[in-house]
Amino acid sequence: MGLFAPEDMETILKIINKYDVPATKITSAQRFALLGMDKDEMAVIMRVLQISWQQV
């Protein structure tokens, strides 16, 4: 439904700042898009968030 708790937003913001993500947007599909990184950087963030490539 596109809902998230403030704690979820804080976690996302911490990751964006920690990994110096160049650009971020919320897509029309209600997903966060972390933009401007190479595959290696994205793989690190995905491990931190426990996301697999199949979920992307």
Q: What are the structure tokens assigned to 1, written together?
A: 């439904």
Is the CB of residue 15 less than 8 Å from the CB of residue 49?
yes
Name the pTM for this structure. Answer: 0.70
DSSP classification of residue 37? -
Question: For position 56, what pLDDT does the model report?
Answer: 54
Question: For position 20, what pLDDT does the model report?
Answer: 93
Q: What is the pLDDT along the chain (56 residues), one digit of tens a residue?
A: 567 789 888 888 998 999 999 999 988 888 888 999 988 888 888 888 877 555 55
Burial class (CB in 10 A: 0-12, 13-18, 19+), 35: exposed
